[in-house]
């Protein structure tokens, strides 16, 4: 696209706070996966590791809120309601989940990527309505009310209805990691926030008030013995806690000034733009698959050699390893994303619509063949999973290199041009 053509198109302003929220979501995700891969028994029993795992498990909450935020911003742009770009991205995200699911021998499983893609598609459809903000707000109230008001009243019936139990958030079957209720609520909240002018002009002190009230409510629920749990089904206490953390982070990010966001360290590791927020997933999991067994064995030997009751050195070593994986994964994903977007801009021949889908189908066939013939888990490399992760990254790189910039820029992960 020429400079003149670009200048003639209305573009939204940059959203550094949205980039920053993605960066924090990435940090939470890497910490959670790395700690759960590398932990040692003593640290898990005595140290602060359970609290860290619990806090970092909020990564999907931040990602889903950022999904809604990006879609809310796009809802106010001319032409943003066209479904084509959203369908492309949603399809690739569902495919990315399947590449890993097939390689692991669990075909059809919907996970993190698929939930983001389907949430984007739902929000894009809702934005075609005349008063879509009002519809999204009503749906948010319905989601939260049904999960925490209706479900407790009909639990005996839900115990006999697995599908309805899953749809209403009373449990998660093996084929879906994130029940629509209440997880969809975070994307809906993000969409309402992204469509509000405050998200462009700076975040209000109202977030500080919301965070304070949420902290008090969370403490009261914990004091009453309410469960803090989010795997399979999400408790009310965890929902309130998650909303509290989101409000706190939005307030903190909104207090940053423009020069803070331009700092080189922030640009490299905190402001995660474009498809990098997706590419970090296979990149850091590949690092853990390659290095995890050796690092875990080293940490456990260090723990065995340490004096009883003195796990501080092991904890520091684990922390440094986790930070190193994060520090490598984010710039690597940013560099890959930037290279593919540059290729898309400079190589018109790759804009042929059929090219990415032909290559993606080849990746699917490869994963299906590998997952059906190779016993996974036979060694530390778990070859089927590694292949699935490589194909996840390849699928996204193919799309970035094969579609015009305006398609790559649609949705949450893309940086506003």
Residue-wise pLDDT for 201-231, tens only, equals: 555 678 888 999 999 999 999 999 888 888 8
φ/ψ (deg, to 5) at 176: -150, 125
pLDDT at 410: 40
Instruction: Reply yes or no: is the peptide bond before residue 266 cis, omega within 30 of 0.
Output: no
pLDDT at 377: 43
pLDDT at 136: 95
pLDDT at 161: 84
Residues forming a β-bridge with 66: none
pLDDT at 408: 40
pLDDT at 376: 46
CA–CA separation, 211 vs 253, rounded Å? 13
Label residues 321-347 b or e (16+ Cβ within 10 Å = b): bbeebbeebbebbbebbeebbeebeee
DSSP assignment of 5-28: HHHTS--PPP-HHHHHHHHHHHHH
CA–CA separation, 73 vs 193, rounded Å? 9
Query: Is residue 68 a contact partner of residue 187, using CB atoms and an 8 Å limit?
Result: yes
Residues (pLDDT < 50) of the chain are 1-12, 78-80, 349-351, 372-381, 404-417
Describe the crossing of helices 354-373 and 83-103 by its angle, rounded to 10 degrees.
Answer: 20
DSSP state of 179: -
pLDDT at 187: 96
pLDDT at 46: 64
pLDDT at 216: 95
């Amino acid at each position: 696209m020429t400079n003149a053509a670009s200048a003639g198109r209305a573009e939204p302003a940059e959203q550094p706070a949205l980039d920053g929220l993605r960066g924090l979501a990435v940090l939470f995700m890497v910490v959670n996966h790395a700690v759960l891969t590398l932990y040692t028994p003593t640290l898990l029993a005595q140290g602060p590791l359970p609290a860290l795992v619990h806090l970092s498990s909020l990564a999907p909450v931040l990602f889903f809120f950022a999904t809604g935020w990006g879609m809310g911003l796009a809802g106010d742009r001319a032409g943003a309601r066209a479904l084509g770009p959203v369908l492309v991205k949603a399809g690739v995200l569902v495919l990315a989940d399947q590449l890993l699911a097939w390689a692991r021998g669990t075909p059809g499983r919907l996970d993190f990527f698929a939930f983001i893609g389907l949430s984007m598609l739902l929000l894009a459809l809702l934005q075609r309505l005349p008063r879509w903000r009002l519809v999204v707000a009503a749906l948010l109230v319905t989601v939260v009310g049904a999960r925490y008001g209706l479900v407790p009243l009909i639990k005996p019936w839900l115990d006999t209805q697995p599908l309805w139990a899953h749809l209403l958030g009373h449990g998660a079957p093996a084929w879906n990691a994130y029940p629509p209720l209440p997880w969809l609520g975070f994307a809906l909240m993000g969409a309402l926030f992204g469509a509000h002018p405050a998200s462009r002009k700076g975040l209000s002190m109202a977030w500080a008030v919301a965070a304070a009230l949420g902290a008090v409510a969370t403490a009261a629920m914990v004091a009453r013995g309410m469960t803090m749990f989010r795997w399979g089904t999400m408790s009310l206490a965890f929902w309130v806690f998650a909303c509290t953390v989101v409000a706190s982070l939005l307030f903190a990010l909104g207090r940053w000034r423009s020069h803070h966001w331009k700092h080189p360290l922030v640009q490299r590791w905190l402001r995660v733009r474009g498809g990098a927020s997706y590419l970090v997933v296979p990149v850091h999991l590949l690092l853990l698959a390659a290095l995890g067994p050796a690092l875990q064995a080293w940490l456990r030997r260090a723990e065995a050699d340490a004096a009883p009751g003195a796990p501080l050195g092991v904890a520091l070593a684990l922390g440094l390893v986790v930070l190193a994986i994060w520090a490598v994964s984010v710039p690597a994903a940013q560099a890959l994303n930037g290279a593919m977007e540059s290729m898309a801009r400079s190589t018109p021949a790759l804009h042929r619509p059929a090219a990415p889908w032909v290559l993606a189908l080849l990746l699917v066939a490869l994963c299906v063949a590998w997952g059906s013939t190779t016993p996974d888990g036979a060694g530390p490399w778990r070859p089927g999973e590694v292949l699935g992760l490589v194909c996840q990254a390849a699928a996204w790189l193919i799309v970035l290199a094969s579609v015009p910039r305006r398609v790559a820029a649609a949705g949450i992960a893309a940086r506003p041009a």
